[in-house]
Amino acid sequence: MRASSATRTPLPTSRGALLLEQLGQLEQSQWWSVDQLRDYQFKQIRRLLRHAWETAPFYRERLTAAGYATGGSFDGTAWLRLPLLTRRDIQSAGDAIHSNNAPAKLGRVTAIQTSGTTGEPVTVRRTEADALLWEALTLRDHAWHRRDFKGRLAVIRDSVDRELGEPPEGSVFDNWGPPVSEVAVTGAAGVLKPTDIETQALWLAGFNPDYLLTYPTNLRALARHFAVSGERLSNLRGVRTLSETMPADLRELCREVWGVPLHDMYSCKELGYLALQCPEDEKRYHVMAETVLVEILDDQGRPCAPGEIGRVVVTSLHNYATPLIRYELGDYAEAGLPCACGRGLPTIERVLGRTRNLLVLPDGRRRWASISFKQYPEIRMVRQHQLIQHSLNDIEACLRIDAPLTATQEARLREIILESLGHPFRLTLTYFRNEIPRGPGGKFEEFISRIAN
């Protein structure tokens, strides 16, 4: 594989130098054999298990109960006897799941909060070293797909910064930001929060990007809009998607409308990249086996054979701040065959995780539906949520709570939901004391539209 422009930049920052060193190692390890990668993974796992047993009270109790002994032998068979970790386990464990002595050499520890695939909020800590690996995998993705950093990048997605990317103007920066800006001179980047498709299309036409990053459902709506309107994005060279299931026909739609390829990725906020699209086979994903062990398990907890569909269970190999050991994401995926490209990295044929739908406003406009309760301390007792649009005017909010809400809290809850949706829908609140039921195939969607697309 040819090196990307990232490996030829003359003036990387000090952090950029570390990233390039790590990228160089990844460019070697992708060609390791299946056995080499497996040996490496279990070497890391043995270290991780010992660290978790010694420094995280939750894991000392859990691993001891599973028969784990720090001085004993440990192999793949013993691994399958370890219990799966759920979001509810993390919530219940509280601080006991975090390491009380993360190695100082791994750098500063920061916290990440996410609702993830099931809408259940969890907090995970990570070290600077873990964050560095995450960024190095971003560079791997760029290198695999030979992106030209001098191009203009448009990003349409939710932002942690509430003031960033406000429509209709969005925000424009003179570079792509970390990690790319740490290793290369780049073109401009524009950020827009998801809003109605007409506003997004107008913003894109004005910015005229070389690359676009957004959610699959949002991309589909944009492609359909441009197909009907006849507008062009003359500079567009590629689109990239994240966070959702990839519809089977979306790649072809992008080729028909814009004449560009689509590159997808599979990630979660707690662990970062899980799999990246193969640069040689667009319908296959390579697991990032140097940083994560991905298991696809059947209903009996056994590894799926290629072509079989099962639950996705992941283990972060380098997170010594909050060890995530056999963590069940709530997604489903199809196990893949070895790839013809020659990389030893395991493969996933397709990801069958949840799909978020577009909210349909009464005037027919469609927009991305997104809501988070973590910013509102007065209603943080909402443990899980799901919004269902039954008609153009009716929304049902399904909420799992630990205790009944007061009238004031419920009124505030309604206000927050309707403000996030951007329209005064008729809102029905349905409360659950236990987990909100999953849909067909065991999937969970934070937003479900009953209106045909």
DSSP secondary structure of 128-196: HHHHHHHHHHHHHHHHHTT--TTS-EEEES--SSTTTT-TTT-EEESS--TTHHHHS----EEEE----
Whether 146-260 and 358-449 share one fold: the answer is: no
- Name the token pair of 37: 């990668």
Q: Could you tell me if 188 and 177 are in contact, meaning their C-beta atoms sit under 8 angstroms apart?
A: no
The whole-model pTM stands at: 0.80
Q: Which residues pair with 211 in a beta bridge?
A: 153, 238
The SS3 assignment for 40 reads helix
Domain range 146-260, CATH architecture: 3-Layer(aba) Sandwich (3.40)
Domain boundaries, the chain: 5-135+268-351, 146-260, 358-449
Closest by CA to 272, choosing from 232, 228, 235, 327, is 327
Q: Which tokens hold the place of 218?
A: 């949002």
Which of 56-69 are b and which e, b meaning 16 or more Cβ less than 10 Å from the residue's Cβ?
Answer: bbbbeebbeeeebe
Query: Which residue(s) pair with 149 in the sheet?
Result: none
Q: What pLDDT shows up at residue 161?
A: 67
DSSP string, 93-104: HGGGGS-SS--G
Q: What CA–CA distance (Å, rounded) separates 264 from 162? A: 26
Tens place of pLDDT per residue across the chain (453 aa): 333 444 444 567 899 999 999 999 999 999 999 999 999 999 999 999 999 999 999 999 999 999 888 777 777 788 998 999 999 899 999 999 999 999 999 999 999 887 654 456 789 999 999 999 999 999 999 999 999 999 999 999 987 666 789 999 999 999 999 999 999 999 999 999 988 889 999 999 999 999 999 988 789 889 989 999 999 999 999 999 988 888 778 999 999 999 999 999 999 889 999 999 999 999 899 999 999 999 999 989 999 999 998 989 999 999 999 999 999 988 889 999 999 999 999 999 998 765 445 788 898 887 767 676 666 666 667 777 889 999 999 999 998 887 888 899 899 889 989 988 889 999 999 998 877 876 653 446 778 888 865
Q: Which CATH architecture has domain 358-449?
A: 2-Layer Sandwich (3.30)
pLDDT of residue 375: 62
Q: Residue 447: which H helix or E strand, with range?
A: strand 447-449
Show the tokens assigned to 190: 């524009």
The CATH superfamily holding the domain 5-135+268-351 is ANL, N-terminal domain (3.40.50.12780)
pLDDT at 244: 80
The DSSP letter of residue 291 is T
Interacting residues of 145 by C-beta distance below 8 A, sequence separation 6+: 238, 263, 277, 279
